Structure 1
Amino acid sequence: MASTVLVAYGSTYGSTAELARTVGDVLRKEGLLVEVRSAGLVRDLTPYGAVVLGGALYAGRWQRDARHFARRHRRALVRLPLWLFSSGPLDSSAAERDVPPPSVRRLARRLEARGHMTFGGRLDERAGGWVARKIVESGKGGDFRDFAVVTTWAEGVARDLLPRTALKD
């Protein structure tokens, strides 16, 4: 694949952006051309041959920029190889199983995504907003991201995108 892979993300506090940068780094290491951008800043998908789109989860919904990106580019996304990821569970549930919320599951089906993965999230004292502060104050915040899992998943995306090479005898 000679064209560029877009890794776009919707992130409010930066945790999902860090996950997206990790995915981009892994794809580059595997030999792909990659651009990592905030979903809110992407206006045109013409330069890209594949897309990885991630969104932070808030109350079971993707962050606004990720949702708007998917809606704005839906016609192009169904024609491109597409993978989705969500970040946000503030516990170990993401490590136990990938169960996207119903809204993300519907989106994946509509956009004919090749796959979805849920990664643990991060919420700490840097987070703004009343609800986020209350979660942290209650002791339910923390960093539940597992970058080894992110790396393994991104390597799988790269394997799907890279041309198959003939096995040598």
Structure 2
Amino acid sequence: MDNPALDLKRYIRGIPDFPKPGILFYDISTLLRDADAWQIATARIARAVAAWQPDILAGIESRGFLMAAPLATRLGLGLVMLRKPGKLPGETVTLNYDLEYGSDSLQIQADAIKPGQRVVVVDDLLATGGTLAASISLLRKVGAEVVGASMVIELSFLGGRSRLDVPVHTLLTYDS
């Protein structure tokens, strides 16, 4: 089910001054709540991701889970979660990383990835690329072969793609 003429940007709402003044927030909740548009979006992303022949998907907390779960189902793949510290049970592996506005950390369960598994990282948004680059590093730290990354939205004017060393697929791009 895909209508190639359907412009999915019509289903993304821009919210000015969120989360702070001067920021235009691209809200995917309006896409998620439209069943037909959401099905078309996941179908388009699934086609792009399938070309990389992943063994498993990795979703970044938390909107990345919303993207990765239907993709994993559609592609017949498993899904691992990359989360903030203290959110995953069992033994975890942590990566601390710097962002333009501070620092952050991500964790993965130590046994989530088998060495050499082909992984595609999934999230809702590519902005400056800091969290996505850290996710790729964390996955490599536990033995993954990261073969690509896919997001619904890319804010190309922020240059996040330039921080990544894997192929990147984005469904929608905003230049400003």
Q: TM-score range by the shorter chain?
A: 0.3 to 0.5
Query: Structure 2 length normalisation: TM-score?
Result: 0.32
Q: Which has the higher helix share?
A: 1
Query: Structure 1 length normalisation: TM-score?
Result: 0.33
Q: Which has the higher strand share?
A: 2
